[in-house]
A = this chain, B = another copy of it.
């Protein structure tokens, strides 16, 4: 564990800066996730740079055996709170958020990950790194667990009042990401709308439809709410307001179904009796269930937001991953992985080069 100046033998490592103070359960859970990430991705050349109050970080790290793990600390004395106004970043120049972005700007880290105040994180990234040439507004891109294959949903909350041009730029960034990082050739781009036909949609969507249809992108048309999960498009484009509702509704619906089924099936004396009557049968099910375990695990993983680890802020001049405020350790670990993959996939250069070409 090194406190500063992480050069020499580790300089070939990909340094992923992580906001130790960001998230509903920071710093404890963030440090847990950082240790997991260092253990899992360290052997592949990742170093996790913890940004935040050194004392707090060291105290939390002391709960783990970090011997030999590629973890380092960069001290930042201030914290942008979860409920603080976005513009707190203007005042708090020494906050973990601003310092983390600065590490990327100065080339001391390849990416920055935060599960903190997302509005503040976007502002810090935008002011600290600036925009990529050709992009007017950054967008949050996240993996949506469609089947058979997950898709990239963009924008899930950066820009709630975009213009049609913003949606086209997002489509382009999303397609480049899908191609270079997800490895999808000529990714299919769909536009969220209230009907399949070209004339469906609100004013924004109808204009964006026309622009996308005349672009060089592999535009497959409108995608209705019922079809988002069906994998009809690799890149699903929508505005930041609708994207946020889609992601949160999907998350909420799965957890709602689980809670609802549990309550309906276990509430009341009759149901309890039924469950007792079922016990012998359930015991007999065990060998079969054991065989089903891999499938059940796969399902649980697919449904677990923590698997996706956060959203990439595309359009700023650096790799920034914004995690869920209520991230658990696994979500933090996977947010580090998302950042690392973005770095490895050269998402930034890909988008810059792609934007230089014809749209």
- A interface, CB within 8 angstroms of B: 147, 157, 160-161, 192-195, 201-203, 205, 224-230, 239-242, 244-257, 260-261, 263-265, 267-268, 270-271, 273-278, 280-292, 294-296, 298-299, 302
Residue of B nearest to A249 (CB): B225
Residue contact B274 to A244, C-beta cutoff 8 Å: no
Give the residues in chain B near A252, CB-CB below 8 Å: 224-230
Complex Cα gap A296–B260 (Å):
11
Query: What residue of chain B has the Cβ atom nearest to residue A195's Cβ?
Result: B244
Residues of B within 8 A of A282 (CB): 281, 285
- Cross-chain contact A265 with B245 (CB below 8 angstroms): no
Given A292-B265, A295-B271, decide whether A241 and B202 contact each other with a Cβ distance below 8 A. yes
Contacting pair B295 A244 (CB below 8 A): no
Across-interface contacts of A201 in B (CB, < 8 A): 160, 241
Q: Name the contact of A281 in the complex, choosing from B247, B265, B284 (C-beta under 8 A).
A: B284
Please give the count of copies of this chain that the complex contains.
2
Q: Which residues of B contact A248 (CB under 8 A)?
A: 194, 224-226
A289 pairs with B274, CB closer than 8 A: yes
For the complex, what is the distance from the CA of A285 to the CA of B244, rounded to whole Å? 41
With known contacts A160-B201, A260-B147, A274-B291, A226–B249 Cβ distance under 8 A:
yes
Chain B residues with CB below 8 A from A278, complex form = 284-285, 287-289
Question: If A147-B260, A229-B252 touch, does A288 touch B277 (CB 8 Å cutoff)?
Answer: yes
Main secondary structure on A side of the interface with B: helix
- Enumerate chain B residues within 8 angstroms of A292, measured Cβ to Cβ: 265, 271, 274
Please give the distance in Å from A159's CB to the nearest CB on chain B. Answer: 9
Find chain B residues with CB under 8 A from A224 CB: 244-245, 248, 252
Which residue, of A247, A250, A274, has the highest number of chain B Cβ atoms within 10 A?
A274
Distance in angstroms from A82 CB to nearest chain B CB is 11
> Could you list 30 A-B pairs, sorted by A, with CB under 8 Å?
A160-B202, A192-B245, A193-B241, A194-B241, A194-B248, A202-B241, A224-B245, A225-B244, A226-B251, A227-B252, A229-B253, A241-B242, A242-B242, A242-B245, A249-B249, A249-B250, A250-B253, A254-B257, A260-B302, A267-B295, A268-B295, A271-B295, A273-B291, A274-B292, A277-B291, A281-B281, A281-B282, A281-B284, A284-B284, A285-B285
User: Could you tell me the distance in whole angstroms from the C-beta of A272 to the nearest C-beta in chain B?
Assistant: 10
In the complex, chain B residues whose CB is within 8 Å of the CB of A277: 287-288, 291
A329 to B81, CA, bound (A): 54
Query: Is B203's CB under 8 angstroms from A244's CB?
Result: no
How far is the CB of A253 from the nearest CB of chain B, in Å?
5
A175 to chain B, nearest CB (A): 22
Chain B residues near A271 (CB, 8 Å)? 291-292, 295
* Bound-state Cα–Cα, A161 to B205, Å: 11
Cβ–Cβ contact A288 & B275, under 8 A: yes
Nearest CB of chain B from residue A200's CB, rounded to whole Å: 8
Contacts of A230 in B (CB 8 A): 252, 256
Q: Is the CB of A299 within 8 A of B160?
A: no
Q: How far is the CA of A257 from the CA of B275 in the complex (A)?
A: 24
Residue of chain B at shortest CB distance from A157: B194
Beta-carbon contact of B161 and A295 below 8 Å: no
Beyond contacts A205-B241, A274-B292: 8 other A-B pairs, Cβ-Cβ < 8 A, are: A202-B241, A224-B244, A225-B246, A226-B248, A228-B252, A229-B252, A277-B288, A280-B284
